[in-house]
Chain A
Amino acid sequence: SQQGEEDPQALSIQEGENATMNCSYKTSINNLQWYRQNSGRGLVHLILIRSNEREKHSGRLRVTLDTSKKSSSLLITASRAADTASYFCATGLTSYGKLTFGQGTILTVHP
């Protein structure tokens, strides 16, 4: 299996609910990043968390990182229909260089 696997593969919720997506990885990392991709479009950078950090917030987003379990979670609070997209986690082994992406979680928020 690959570095960076998201869970669940698909998530369907109602507007106003919270959405939680998880990401697991296999090797030690320098940083982990979350991206959003709307259908057929490019990637939008959401948040970066470094290996010495445990939690970060950005607006309605909350990211946690547990390096002992090699896992991260992305929480979107008070979801909106506009949050409908695919969400990817990506790990960086160094502070520069390639990112390794997971397969993504498809989030659908129903109005």
Chain B
Amino acid sequence: NAGVMQNPRHLVRRRGQEARLRCSPMKGHSHVYWYRQLPEEGLKFMVYLQKENIIDESGMPKERFSAEFPKEGPSILRIQQVVRGDSAAYFCASSPPTQSDEQFFGPGTRLTVL
């Protein structure tokens, strides 16, 4: 059973470009979470999704950031018009529909904005 997959592992963008980060949850998992980690800091929650629904987006910046988890395919975190402050590691986690308090993390995508 493959773990949570994220791609790309590293992403370099220039200011003003768009960044698309993908997350494939573990097989059978229907809950997806996105977290951001700035250098030397802990993880900060961004958004919690289930298939085709955003459940909690209280940690998402109001502008430029969006997330989706379609019926088919991976979850996508999209950052429009990136700025240098968006440089961080973005982690995705998933949990099963039952016993869902334990979250399994992917390897992360390291975004660098030049």
Contacts and interface: CB of A to CB of B under 8 A. Distances in A.
B34 to A, nearest CB: 10
A97 interface: yes
Interface in B51-110: 55-56, 58-59, 91, 93, 95, 100-108
A100 B45 contact: yes
Nearest to B4: A42
A44 B42 CA distance: 14
B105 A42 contact: yes
Interface residues of B, number: 25
A48 interface: yes
Given A97-B48, A98-B48, A101-B43, A35 B105 contact: yes
A99 interface: yes
A42 B93 CA distance: 10
A58 interface: no
Contacts of B108: 41-42
Contacts of A96: 31, 95, 100-101
B36 to A, nearest CB: 11
Contact of A101 (B31, B42, B101, B104): B42
A95 B106 contact: no
B100 A95 contact: yes
Contact of A98 (B33, B91, B105): B33
A20 interface: no
Given A33-B102, A99-B103, A43 B48 contact: no
27 contacts: A4-B42, A31-B101, A33-B102, A33-B103, A41-B107, A41-B108, A42-B106, A42-B108, A43-B43, A43-B91, A43-B105, A44-B105, A45-B102, A45-B104, A92-B101, A96-B31, A96-B100, A97-B48, A97-B55, A98-B48, A98-B56, A99-B43, A100-B45, A101-B43, A101-B44, A103-B41, A104-B42
Interface of A: 4, 30-31, 33, 35, 41-45, 48, 50, 88, 90, 92, 95-104
The 9 A-B residue pairs whose C-beta atoms are closest, nearest first, are A101-B42, A98-B45, A42-B107, A43-B105, A96-B100, A101-B43, A95-B101, A103-B42, A31-B101
